[in-house]
Amino acid sequence: MSSAIRSAAFVGARLLDGRSPDVIRDGVLLTDELGRIVAAGPAASTPIPAGVERIDATGLTVLPGIIDCHVHLSLRLETVADATQRSATDLVVRALQSGRDFLDAGVTTVRDAGYTPAGIKRAFASGAFPGPRTQVSCMPLSQTGGHGDSWTPSGAMLETQVSDLPPGVADGVDAVRRAARLQIRAGADWIKVMATGGVLSAADTPDASQFTVDEIRAIVEEAKAAGIKGTLAHAEGTAGIKNALRAGITSVEHGDLIDDEGIDLMLARDVPLIPTFNINFALMDEGRVARGEVPPWAIEKMTYLFKRQQQNFRHAVERGVRIVMGTDSFSGMYPPAELAYMAEFGIGPFRAIQAATTEAAKLLGLADQVGTLEPGMQADLIAVSGDPLSEPTLWRDPARIVFVMQGGRVIADRRGA
C-alpha cells in the first residue's frame, strides 16, 4: 500500500495550504527523504533540484492530509446478532482494517473517541500496519445507565471485553478519578466523558445530562495532572453540554442542542465544537436501517436531533465558535464527506478545510507537525481532482481523492484511474 520515503516534487498543482484561502496556481511542493516538506510555492520561484522525482499534479488541488478528531476505529454499525458474536480479536482486526481504509481515503491523522486500545496507535506508529497517526482515549467514562453503559433492558451486556481497555462505568468523584487513572495507565492520550445520553444507547435520551459537574471536573483534573492531551465530552443535550464546559472540558463532541449560554461558555473558554454530521447520515441511511444495523429507537432519537443540530450549528458558527472536524466514523464509513456537510451547514468550503487541517492539528497538539503545507512539516498531504473551494461536494465522492501521502510515503496514487 505504501512506498519508501523519497524526495519528490509535485508540479502543476493548485496548492491550498490550510491557512489561507488564497490558492497558489501552477504550484510546486517539494518533499525530502526524511518525509518532510521542504518548499511550497509558485513554480516561478520554487526551483526543483536535479534528480528529484516529479509527480504530475496538473488539474489537482494539493492540500494537507485530513485530520479527523472523532473516530471509532474498532466499532461499526451492526445488528444485535453480529454484536453478540464479536470478540476482542475481531475488534483489533476491525481497527487495523479501518485505519488502512481511512488512510487510503486521505485521513492521515485521527483521534479515536473510544473503544480502541493503545496498542493500535503503536501498531500504526511502528509502520507494521498502514494507518493514520493516532491518538486514543481507550474506554469512555460513563455513569451507570449512561451513554457508555452497555446494559440493555433484557439484561444483556453488549460490550466486548478487551484486556487492555479498563472498565469505564463509574459513579461518584472518587470512582471516576480511579476510572480516569485506569485509562491513563492503559495509554490514553485523551479521556472521553459521556456528559449526556445519546442516540445509540438504549437506556437514555440525548437530552439527559450525565455525570455531575464535580465528577467531570475530577476527570479533567486527572487528565491535567497526568499531562495527557486533554478531555473530550460526548455532549448532545443542553444541560450536559454546559456541565462539561463548566468542568473544564477540552472539546465538545456533537453539541446538537447547544444554546446561547453554552455558546457563551465555549467562547469564553475557547473550546472547539466537533459536530460529527457524518454519523447522523449513516444512522438515517435506508440500507443500514433495512439491515437492522440501526434500531428503531435510535432512528427516533436521530430524527428528533437532525434539524435541531443543523440550526444550532449554524448559530454557533455565526457567533464565532471554533469548529474542528470529527466524523464519529466507524468501519465502513467515509470520513471526508464531513467536509461537504460542514461547508453546507454553515462554515463554507474554506473553513471546512481549516476545521480538518489547521484547527484539528491545533486541538491535537500537532500544529508544529501536520495541518499545513509549510517547510519543516510532515509530508502528510492529499491531492483531489477539481477545486474544493468552488465544489465542496467533491468531498462526498471517494474517486475525487486521487493521491495520498503520509510522512513522505505514497499511500495511494489513483491519478490515472
What element of type H or E holds 401? strand 401-406
Neighbouring residues of 337: CB distance < 8 A, sequence distance ≥ 6: 278, 281, 327, 395, 396
Q: What cell does 320 get?
A: 464565532
Q: Which of 192, 229, 242, 301 is catalytic?
A: 192
CA distance 335 to 275: 13
DSSP characters for 221-264? HHHHHHT-SEEEEEE-SHHHHHHHHHHT-SEEEE-TT--HHHHH
Pick from 246, 244, 250: nearest CA to 231: 250
Active site residue 413: no
Task: Give the three cell numbers for residue 133.
Answer: 497517526
* Terminal-residue alpha carbon distance, the chain: 16
What CA–CA distances, in Å, run from 296 to 40, 288, 306? 51, 11, 15
Known catalytic residue: 307? no
* 229: CB partners within 8 A, 6+ apart: 135, 189, 190, 223, 250, 364, 365
User: How far apart are the C-alpha atoms of 131 and 121, rounded to whole Å?
Assistant: 8
Which among 101, 112, 256, 328 is annotated as catalytic? 328
CA distance 273 to 267: 10
> Residues for the chain: how many in total?
417
3-state helix, strand, coil split of the chain in percent (to 5) is 35, 20, 40
DSSP letter at 400?
G
**Which residue blocks in 48-104 are alpha helix, DSSP H?**
80-83, 88-104
What distance in Å separates the CA atoms of residue 401 and residue 393, rounded to the nearest whole number? 12
- Return the active site residues: 192, 328
